[in-house]
Amino acid sequence: MSFKSIALASLLVLPVSALADWQLAGDASSVNFVSVKKANIAEMHHFKGLNGSISDDGKAELTIDLATVETNIPIRNERMQKMLFNTTKFAKATISTSVDTAKLKALKAGQSMAVDADVTVNVHGETKTEKAALQVTGLEGGKLLVTTSAPIIVNAGNYKLLEGIEKLREVAGLDSISPIVPITAKLVFTQN
């Protein structure tokens, strides 16, 4: 549940700039994270508000609107927004990295390449570097598909979210909520 912030880390995939060579197709993209409560009950969640781009000079950035967290339980969505993410103060999470755009442009439809990326994640006022194993695939029409090859494992404590997790645990009457959150992403970029 409270692992939403960790999901943000998965966004680290690639995309970001106003006049970019590729823009994120938000409706075709997803960032998912898994929360574990009571030691062994896992639940999948996602964010509905994603924006991003990859600039021609290789700056990639993904922005996640934390108020769009979707857990399929409205009261839990509200609690995560207020107690965990504090969206009135920290409305967005950003993930950024640098990419080799020459290699991206050379990908033909159906061709893939593996990318090990260090991504800079900013959540809740904290900035850290996370490692991401990504698969980039060329699609028809100059589009790109960026997916996580393996889940990105994020520790909520690195982003000062443990207090929020504890508040969620208390209000839900749970024995535990894990601060370790696996995140996956599927991002589609359309060439300008």
Q: Confidence class of residue 192 from pLDDT cuts 50, 70 and 90?
A: confident
52-95 pLDDT per residue, tens? 999 999 999 999 999 999 999 999 999 999 999 999 999 999 99
145-174 pLDDT per residue, tens? 999 999 999 999 999 999 999 999 999 999
* pLDDT higher than 70, residue 177: yes
| Structural domain count of the chain | 1
pLDDT at 142: 87
* pLDDT higher than 70, residue 100: yes
Whole-angstrom distance, CA of residue 192 vs CA of residue 190: 6
Range of the domain at 57: 4-191
CATH number at residue 128: 2.40.128.110
Instruction: List the single range of 18-22, 50-54, 184-188 with lowest mean pLDDT.
Output: 18-22
Whole-angstrom distance, CA of residue 107 vs CA of residue 139: 8
Whole-angstrom distance, CA of residue 169 vs CA of residue 29: 30
Cα first-last separation, the chain: 36
Residue 15 vs residues 50, 156, 186: alpha-carbon distances, Å: 10, 23, 12
20-32 pLDDT per residue, tens? 489 999 999 999 9
